[in-house]
Structure 1
Amino acid sequence: MTTELKFYLATWISYCILCIWLYMSDRTSFPLQAYKAFLYVPWKLITFSIAAIGITVVAPYTADPTWDYFDAAMMSALTFLTAPWATGMLYLGIRGKARFKHVLVAIGVWMFSASWCYDLYLLIRDGHYPITWEANIYASSVLYFSAGLLWNLEYRAGRGVTFSFLEPGFPVRPQQTGFARIALFGLPFMILAICCIGYFLI
């Protein structure tokens, strides 16, 4: 491993430790129970299951040797669990409506879910840092951001379809948990994911 990669590895591990400390030192400011209620609604669980199974099943058959059943399933699960919150927090942070520590943790969970867990797994599996680490950041972040937007969609009476992080009190359980009214708006995000996966199969 080059000196630069060793430094990069040490830096992101240190950042992850910082994020864990920020969370553990002020857990009450991270609304975990409210986030579970926000996330665990039927249509989100169903779309996640379909996407995760699809990605995991095709992973070993892509032209990318770094993809296998384990990292495909791992990254799918982490994306579902963290992308909606991280996407919302970063938006709120840009608008000056989120605490700085929440923004730091959001960046950490984004990068760990979309990149660093992949790097660490392949480092352990193959014995060297993956040469695809940089390209993976961009490719996986597109999917991560898309998933974050998809699972933030909700319908509100009198307002229509919106993103949950635009509403007061984010994250809170959506007023209506049906999928029919938001399906059309979610379609572009789902098509993007399908196209990205299909690209690796060509």
Structure 2
Amino acid sequence: MPVTKILCLDLAGQTGFAIWSPAMDQPLYGAVRLPKASLGQTFASFRDFLSGKIVGERIEHVAIESPYIDKVSLNAVEKLYGLKAHAEEICYRRGVPCRPVSSAEWRKHFIGQPRAPQTLAKAQRRKWLKDQVRLECQRRGWAVTSDDEADALGVLVYERARILPRWGCDTELFGYEQIAPPMGMERVP
């Protein structure tokens, strides 16, 4: 039986999430700010959040943006890998597949480029990528309020196309109006 409800996460101190199923006109998305008094508190709060989403929304598949570590995020290594480990363990216990997705994979699918142009100064590349993802969300009619929400939606669009090929071509469901589906791309109920 094919997966019918997907949850995608952009793990961070403010974790972005996006949920989709074929029954939804638009994805559900948002961000949850995790407490940061201690790693234990952060992980406990994340565990409650993720368990609640999986059970409450009847999630059948989870995709997580793989942690990316650079000079800026070096002090967040423990938190990012801890959140990823907790997500994998929670999904395992619930019998829900959990798949990491690299930022290059989903960005190539979502904005057409896995990385920022080399012509930009290194200091401007991250911002350029974040701006492109937000612009793509805006084009699709999604009023995101944070980069975390936007990234989770980008992961969702990619993962949905990967695991459900019949949904691989963007149509009106994900913000692009199309008069008729291309031949062979009709949706199967």
TM-score with structure 2 setting the length = 0.30
In terms of Rg, which structure is larger?
Answer: 1
Which protein has the bigger strand share?
A: 2
Which protein has the bigger helix share?
A: 1
TM-score with structure 1 setting the length = 0.29
